[in-house]
Copies of this chain bind each other. A is one copy, B any other.
């Protein structure tokens, strides 16, 4: 099952009737979903490349939604997580939200409101994924630099002249120029200012 190919709303709830009802509800608004009967099964299949959002019931047999959330966080999951609960209390809601949960919704909920939240979460994930892809490209270019090139790059970004860098590293100015040229080539830029702008977009 290729859960990576498209953005899905992952419904994690041990109650099959609820999973089906939610799937149906989401479908009426064009949201593709997948149901998981337990936190364990979802986590077993979880991979970083999963796109979309997680609709997570708090109270389940076996692993709870909260434990599942902690696990997802530990795994570096960036999908927005929407908690559903029939038995929440304020400290719990506050704690999960402050831990980074996307939303916390009590049952019974307004159908439309939930779908709106899901759609918004999917959008959020899409935007985050796009930014991540761009940043990964930059990161891989950075990874292609040799240690020396990285050293010279820092000095370039600090605005130092080639001759100053040469003095500082006790090398010839021509060598600085060579490194500089190689750095720009690998990073796909033509000048120090372009490089700076590229890296600013990464962070």
Give residues in A with beta carbon < 8 Å to B: 88-91, 93-94, 97-98, 103-106, 156-159, 189-197, 199-200, 203
Contacts and interface: CB of A to CB of B under 8 A. Distances in A.
A98 B97 CA distance: 8
B90 A193 contact: no
17 contacts: A89-B90, A93-B94, A93-B97, A94-B97, A97-B98, A98-B103, A159-B189, A159-B190, A191-B192, A192-B192, A192-B193, A193-B195, A193-B196, A196-B196, A197-B200, A200-B200, A200-B203
B94 A103 contact: yes
Nearest to A88: B90
Nearest to A89: B90
Nearest to A109: B91
A122 to B, nearest CB: 17
B94 A159 contact: no
Contacts of A203: 200
B157 A197 contact: yes
A50 B203 CA distance: 30
A106 B190 CA distance: 57
Contacts of A194: 159
Contacts of A190: 159
Which 5 pairs of residues, A with B, have the shortest CB-CB distance?
Answer: A200-B200, A196-B196, A159-B194, A192-B193, A97-B97
A192 to B, nearest CB: 4
A157 B193 contact: yes
Contact of A90 (B104, B156, B196, B197): B104
